[in-house]
Structure 1
Amino acid sequence: MSALDPTLVRELAPQVIGVLVRRGADFASAEDAVQEALLAAHEQWGEQPPHDPRAWLVTVAWRRHVDLVRSDASRRAREERLHHEPPPGPAAASDDTLWLYFLCAHPSLSPSAATALTLRALGGLTTRQIAEAHLVPEATMAQRISRAKRTLADVPLEVPGDLATVLRVLYLVFSEGYAGEVDLAAEAIRLARRLVALTDEPEVRGLLALFLLHHSRRAARRDAEGRLVPLPEQDRALWDRRLAAEGIDLLQDALARDRLGEYQAQAAVAALHADALRAEETDWVQVVEWYDELVALTGSPVHRLNRAVAVGEADGGAAGLRALRELDLSLPRYAAVAAHLHERAGDLADAARLYAEAAAAATRTDERDHLTRQAARLAPHRRDP
C-alpha cells in the first residue's frame, strides 16, 4: 500500500465536501465523512487509484454520512427521509470550491479558526499537520477545528463570508511561514491559484502576486546557519526570477482593471524590490508613494511604520525618524524600525540601545537573534547610562 498523492487529495477533498453539502449534509458532517473516505482510500487504493477517484470518494463519503445519520437517534426523521430516497446519481462535475472558501471564512469564526478550517477542508491537511505548522499541540488544534465546525452547523449555507474575509484568511495562512511538515506559504499559494481560477476579482490576483513576489525571495532569506538575512543584504542571484515575473504579470493585469486594493498596493511594493538588481537601485521614492496609497486605503499603523522605513531610505534617516514620531511607540517592531533609522541618521549610540530593546521584545527566536546581532555590532558605540 502506498500513501495517497497529497496533491490529488488536496484537489479532491473540497470538491467532495461540496457535493455532500449540496446533497443535504451539514458542513461538519460532510467534512467528517470525507476524512473517513480519505482514510478508506489510503487503506484500499494501494498502488493504483480507481479510474474516477472523485466519484469513488463521493460514493464512500456519502455512505459514511448516511451511516452517521442513521446512528444518531436524535435525527430519526432525517434518517427516514434518507432511507427512502433513491441513491443519489453521479456527482455533477461542478466545483464548489469557491463556495467553500467563503463558508470557511464565515464572519462568525475567529481568524485563527477560519485559517485552521480552510487548511483542513480546502487544503486537505491533517489536524496534526495544521497543528505542527501553527506550533500548537494537536489536541488544541483538534478542539479549534471542532469548535469551528460546530459554529458553522448553525449557519445558513446561503450566508457565507465575504471576499475580503477569504483573502484575509489566505493572507494569514501565508504569513504563518514555513514551520512544520507542511509549508504554509506554498499551501497559501496553491489555494490562491485555485481562487484566481474561480473568480475574476483584481484583489485576488493582487494577493497571489504578493505571495509569489515574496516567495521568490525565500532561498535568500536565511544564510547557511539558518539566520535571517535582511532584504538589503540578500544574495539576489538566489531569488526565483520566474516566480517574480509571474507575480509582476499578475499585478499588472490586476492594476489594469483600475480597482486598486490593499493587496495590489503591497504587491507593487514587492515588485519594486524585485525590479532592483542591487539593493541600492531600489526606487524608494516610488515605494513611499505606494505606501501612501496603502495608508490611504487602510489607515493601518503597520503600513505607516513601513512607510517610515521607506522615507528613511528615500530621504535619509532624519526624515524617516520624523515620520516615525507620528506613530505609537507601543507598535510591534517600533523599536526595531527606530534603531534602523537612527543608524541611517548616524546616531549609532541610540541605534545600539534600540536594537537591544527590540531584541528583548521580539517574540520570534530568529528575529530576536538577528536584532541581538545588530545590537552587538553597534555595542562599541553605545553610551552607558
Structure 2
Amino acid sequence: MTTTETHRTIEAVWRIEAPRVIAAAARLVGDVGLAEELAQDALVAALEQWPSDGVPRNPGAWLTTTAKRRAIDQIRRRERFERSLPDLVTPDATEPTDLDAITDDPIDDDLLRLIFTACHPVLSPEARVALTLRLLGGLTTDEIARAFLVPSPTVGQRISRAKKTLADAHVPFELPTGADRAARLTSVLEVIYLIFNEGYSATAGDDWMRPALCEEAMRLGRVLAGLMPDEAEVHGLVALLEIQASRTAARTGPSGEPVTLLEQDRRRWDRLLIRRGLAALERAEALGGGPYTLQAAIAAVHARARTAADTDWARMADLYAQLAQVAPSPVVELNRAVAVAMGEGPQAGLAVLEPLRDEPTLAAYHLLPTVRGDLLAKLGRTAEAKAEFERAATMTRNERERALLLDRAAACA
C-alpha cells in the first residue's frame, strides 16, 4: 500500500472511529476539549507510523488505545503535579486515580456520554449542532461551515466556546438519569433533527439539498438507537429520517431544480430506506412513541402510497391533529391545512390556514404564503395566488426554491 493509499485509509477510518476515540479519552479526562486533542494526537501518530508499519488489523482499537495512553499520561502528570503542591489542593485531589477501573468501561457507554455531553442544554442550539458534527460526525470546521453557509472562523468560534462553556459549567462526562435524562434526550434528538432538516431542505444557498448532512444525521440516529434500544422516540426519529431520506433521488430534476412531493416519480424512492423506516416506526409505536413517532407515521402515509392519488389524506389530517395535541405548533397547523385541503378541498384547507396569517412566528416563514398561494391557485384566484408566491419568493434564502416560487407566480399570470 502506498503512502497516499494509507493516508486515504486513515481518513476513512478516522471518520468512522473518531467519536469512539474521543469518547474513550473523555471518559478518562472528563473534558471533551482535551479528549479531542488527545484523539487528534492519536491521529497524528497513525499518520506517522502506519505508512511505514502498515495499517493495524484493528485500526479503531489502535487509535483508541493510543488516545487512552496519552490520557493516562495526562492524568499521571496532573497527579504528580498535585502531589507536589499539597498545600494548594484538597486531600481528595491528591488521591491517585484508579486507572484500571476507568479504562474498562464499555465503549458504547462512553459514546452515549459523549452524545449527551455534546448536546447539553447549557449550549446554544447552534453550538450543539457544530459540536455534535465535529465530535460525533467527524466533520472538519471547514466542512461544517460549508454545510451551513457560514464563515469557517464562525464555526471554529462556536466549537471553541462550546468546549469552554462545558468546562466552565463543570458539566460531568456522565449519563444523566431521571428527568434530567429525559430533558437531555430531547436536546439530543432535536440536534439530530436540525442537522437532517438542514440537509433535506437547505435554508440558503444554491443547492436544494445537502445529502451529506442527511447521511450524518441518519448515522447519528442509528448509533443512538443502538445505544438506547428501549427509547421510543429515538426509534421514532430514526423512522422519520429514513422515510424522509428515501425520497432524496426524486426530489430534484435533471438540473437540480426542486420537485414537489406530489410530482415526484415514486419509482425513484429508495424502498430499502422505506422498509427500514417502517420497521423503526413499528418499534417506536410498540414502545409508546411521541411527536417524532407521529411525524414518522405521517411520512409513512406517503411512503405506503404507490401514487399521489393513493394517499390517505384523511388519515394524515388525523395524525396532524394528534400531533397538534402533543406538540402544538403553527407549523403543524400549516401542514394539517395541506392535508385537509387535499382530502376535503382547497376551501376547507384555507379555513384551517386563515388563523395562521396573524401568527407572529410565521411572519417570515415562506411556506405560509407558498401554501396559501397553492390553495388560491386551485380555487382560480390567480391574482391573489401570484401575489402570495411572489411574497414567498422574497422570504426564502434558497436560490432553487426562489426560482420555483417565481415560476409558479409567472404561471398564475
Tell me the residue number matched to 1:99. 113
Tell me the residue number matched to 2:155. 141
For residues 30-179 of structure 1, what are the structure 2 equivalents within 5 Å?
Answer: 30-46=35-51, 48-65=54-71, 76-77=81-82, 92-95=105-108, 96-153=110-167, 154-158=170-174, 160=176, 162-177=184-199
Tell me the residue number matched to 2:292. 263
**In 2, Cα distance between equivalents of 1:356 and 1:239:** 31
**In 2, Cα distance between equivalents of 1:17 and 1:269:** 37
**In 2, Cα distance between equivalents of 1:286 and 1:367:** 29
Tell me the residue number matched to 1:341. 375
SS state of the match for residue 50, structure 1?
coil
Q: Is the 8 A contact 2:246 2:269 kept in 1?
A: yes
Alignment of 1:221 onto 2:251: yes
Pick one of 179, 202, 219 that aligns with 1:190: 219
**One-letter identity of the residue aligned with 2:55:** P
The CA deviation at 1:4 is: 3.3
SS state of the match for residue 176, structure 1?
helix
Tell me the residue number matched to 2:90. none
**In 1, Cα distance between equivalents of 2:123 and 2:98:** 36
What is the total number of aligned residue pairs between the two structures? 377
Q: Is the 8 A contact 2:386 2:412 kept in 1?
A: yes
CA 1:373–1:355 in 2, change beyond 3 Å: closer, same or farther?
same
**One-letter identity of the residue aligned with 1:117:** L
**One-letter identity of the residue aligned with 2:32:** F
For residues 269-308 of structure 1, what are the structure 2 equivalents within 5 Å?
Answer: 269-308=298-337
**In 2, Cα distance between equivalents of 1:23 and 1:69:** 8
Q: Is the 8 A contact 2:30 2:173 kept in 1?
A: no
Tell me the residue number matched to 2:203. none
Tell me the residue number matched to 2:204. none
Gaps of 5+ in 2: 86-92, 201-206
Q: Which segment is superposed worse, 208-217 or 158-167?
A: 158-167
Alignment of 1:209 onto 2:209: no
CA 1:323–1:30 in 2, change beyond 3 Å: closer, same or farther?
same
CA 1:318–1:209 in 2, change beyond 3 Å: closer, same or farther?
same
CA 1:85–1:272 in 2, change beyond 3 Å: closer, same or farther?
closer
Tell me the residue number matched to 1:359. 393
**In 1, Cα distance between equivalents of 2:48 and 2:210:** 22
Q: TM-score, normalised by structure 2?
A: 0.83
Tell me the residue number matched to 1:312. 341
**In 2, Cα distance between equivalents of 1:105 and 1:79:** 37
The CA deviation at 1:79 is: 9.1
The CA deviation at 1:378 is: 1.0
Q: Is the 8 A contact 2:199 2:211 kept in 1?
A: no
Q: Is the 8 A contact 2:393 2:401 kept in 1?
A: yes
**In 2, Cα distance between equivalents of 1:135 and 1:91:** 41
CA RMSD of aligned residues (A): 2.9
SS state of the match for residue 136, structure 1?
coil
The CA deviation at 1:56 is: 2.5
**One-letter identity of the residue aligned with 1:61:** A
Q: TM-score, normalised by structure 1?
A: 0.89
Alignment of 1:20 onto 2:25: yes
Q: Is the 8 A contact 2:113 2:173 kept in 1?
A: no
Q: Is the 8 A contact 1:58 1:91 kept in 2?
A: no
**In 2, Cα distance between equivalents of 1:155 and 1:254:** 30
The CA deviation at 1:43 is: 3.8
**In 2, Cα distance between equivalents of 1:10 and 1:241:** 27
**In 1, Cα distance between equivalents of 2:296 and 2:274:** 11
Q: Is the 8 A contact 1:305 1:324 kept in 2?
A: yes
**One-letter identity of the residue aligned with 2:60:** R
CA 1:242–1:52 in 2, change beyond 3 Å: closer, same or farther?
closer
Gaps of 5+ in 1: 380-385
CA 1:213–1:306 in 2, change beyond 3 Å: closer, same or farther?
same
**One-letter identity of the residue aligned with 2:164:** R
**In 2, Cα distance between equivalents of 1:203 and 1:7:** 30
Which structure has greater helix proportion?
Answer: 2
CA 1:336–1:60 in 2, change beyond 3 Å: closer, same or farther?
same
Q: Which segment is superposed worse, 148-157 or 196-205?
A: 148-157
SS state of the match for residue 153, structure 2?
helix
**One-letter identity of the residue aligned with 1:373:** D
